[in-house]
Amino acid sequence: MRVVSVGEVLIELVRDGDGRYVLGYAGDTFHTAIYLARNGAPVSFVSALGTDRYSDEVLKTAAAEGIGTDLVLRVSDRVPGISLVEANSDNGRSAEIWRDASPARQMFELPGWDRVAEQVVAANLIYFSGVTLSLFSNVGLGRFLAALEFARERGAKIAFDSNWRFASWRGDEQRARAVFSEALKRTDMALPSFEDEARLWGDASPRATVERLTTFGVKEIVVKNGASPALVHADGRSMEVPVPRNVEAVDARAAGDAFNAAYIAARLRKESPEDAALAGHRLAAEVLQHRGAILPHPKRRAGQTH
């Protein structure tokens, strides 16, 4: 069993309460890879980085979490993108991102891309997001979508969270819808957030989202909906899975990414879709109550070394 998570890692600078910035590393599919690994899934990250010290730190972070890094390409004259995160007055966060020169944007065009694509095709489950798709040129998109097709022919499962971000697509909603449509035709498990689907597609309800996604042939769908129940569609039937308990959100970053990881990991363990959604809710609640995208490692929280 091998899971691959495809996407980008950014250098993240978060302004702390005293005005100083805290350095970290972030990215939606990277967050999910970390939580997948913590849930026991054998996961590798697919991306491209520079050869600078920050890229080295990203690889060290991944390795410390048990994430495979053999599918990360390195580019000598480039550095990762940068995300500058500020706190809002309502406990939310806003970010400015500079990623035009990020090597991840060309991961399927760099020397060695074909080797990476071969390993993606050989995976058992491939996870990616709408942010992943926003990175690529038409050439990169074509190669990535072809890899998904070949992987499905081999029996792999494809998991996709649309994670619609206006800025990532430079406001080009028409292109985003066209690219997402092509991705959904190749998707087995969709994990969208209703808020994103309503903004991009105009869906009136989570059920409308399920109905639309099934027209693409997606068999398993989980529509996350904040503190409201998640709508799970699997095995031809739909069910609402309530959040076990409401929590006061300290920081919403990566809550959806964590939900996806817990859900996928539970499904890999052959748990039911309902139980998997409950596992997603539980992990998302933990993340919501923590300042930052990544919880302290369970071993460190228990007072042990990593």
Tell me, what's the pLDDT at 300? 56
Q: How far is CA 228 from CA 93, 107, 109, 205, 225, in A?
A: 21, 37, 41, 12, 5
Q: Where are the domains of the chain?
A: 3-8+27-78+102-301
Tell me, what's the pLDDT at 123? 98
**Binned average pLDDT, 10 residues per bin, the chain of 306 residues:** 96 86 94 98 98 97 97 96 79 80 97 98 98 98 98 98 95 97 98 98 98 98 97 96 91 94 98 98 95 82 45
Q: How far is CA 297 from CA 39, 108, 170, 250, 289, in A?
A: 11, 32, 35, 18, 15
pTM: 0.95
Q: Cα–Cα distance between 66 and 208 in angstroms, integer? A: 38
Sequence-ordered list of residues with C-beta below 8 angstroms from that of 49, at least 6 positions apart, any chain: 9, 55, 58, 59, 72, 73, 74, 75, 80, 103, 104
* Strand pairing category for 237-241 and 230-234: antiparallel
Tell me, what's the pLDDT at 66? 97
257 in catalytic set = yes
Q: Cα–Cα distance between 113 and 46 in angstroms, integer? A: 10
Sequence-ordered list of residues with C-beta below 8 angstroms from that of 209, at least 6 positions apart, any chain: 192, 194, 197, 201, 203, 221, 223, 231
- The residue annotated as part of the active site, out of 188, 251, 257, 275, is 257
DSSP code for 92? -
Cβ–Cβ under 8 Å, residues 127 and 32: yes
Sequence-ordered list of residues with C-beta below 8 angstroms from that of 57, at least 6 positions apart, any chain: 25
Q: How far is CA 222 from CA 218, 240, 247, 269, 284, in A?
A: 11, 10, 21, 17, 14
Tell me, what's the pLDDT at 297? 86
DSSP β-bridge partners for residue 220: 189
Tell me, what's the pLDDT at 306? 36
Tell me, what's the pLDDT at 256? 97
State the residue for tokens 């490692």.
Answer: 297
Candidate CATH numbers 3.30.230.70, 3.20.10.10, 3.40.50.720, 3.40.1190.20; the one for domain 3-8+27-78+102-301:
3.40.1190.20
